[in-house]
Each structure stands twice: as structure tokens, then as C-alpha cells.
Amino acid sequence: MGRSPCCEKEHTNKGAWTKEEDQRLIAYIRANGEGCWRSLPKAAGLLRCGKSCRLRWMNYLRPDLKRGNFTDDEDELIIRLHSLLGNKWSLIAGQLPGRTDNEI
């Protein structure tokens, strides 16, 4: 038994995203919002699974993401929060607007 698969494996792209795929995902989310990630790929015309679309958006394409090196203030905050919370990176990232747990 168990969970149903997140997507059809046969007709799904894997590996690096193309610029065209990124543009399709961005355009779809701008027009329709984030909504249901499981049905988004088909509606957006992408041959990706919903989880892949969600991760691509959340970690790379969101317009509010900060890019580049951490500021001195961010470094200090990360060190302080790590001493309090340990390796709970998503909680720490929640205190740093525009940063993801993958970056920290």
C-alpha cells in the first residue's frame, strides 16, 4: 500500500531546468498564484512533478529572494539563532526574510 506517487515518472523531465521552463513557471504563478502544486505542472504546460515546481519556485525563482553574500547582521543573527536552535535551518531561515533554509 502506501502513498500514491507525486507524479507520472514516464513523461517527467528530470535534471536541470531550462530558461523556458523557468519562464513558464513564473508566468503561470504570476497569473494564477501558487495554488495546488500537484496540478500546477499540467496547467502550466510543464513536464515536471509538482514537488519539483514547488522547490524551484521556493528556492530559486521567487521575486522576494535575496541573492549574494550574507550581510554582517545576517551572519551574526545566524550564529546567534544556531546557538539557540541548533541545526533547525528552516526555523532560522524564517527569521531572515528573503533567505531559504537551503542557503543557510
What is the pLDDT, as a whole number, of residue 35?
A: 87
**Which domains does the chain carry?**
19-61 (1.10.10), 66-103 (1.10.10.60)
Q: Which three cell numbers stand for residue 56?
A: 524551484
| pTM of the predicted structure, to 2 decimals | 0.79
What is the pLDDT, as a whole number, of residue 6?
A: 59
What is the pLDDT, as a whole number, of residue 103?
A: 87
pLDDT by residue, tens only, the chain of 104 residues = 566 655 666 678 889 999 999 999 999 999 999 989 999 999 999 999 999 999 999 999 999 999 899 999 999 999 999 999 999 999 999 999 999 888 88
Angle at 95 between CA 38 and CA 22, to 5 degrees: 35
In order, the DSSP letters of 4-34 are: PPSS-STT---SSPPHHHHHHHHHHHHHH-S
What is the pLDDT, as a whole number, of residue 12?
A: 85
What is the pLDDT, as a whole number, of residue 9?
A: 60
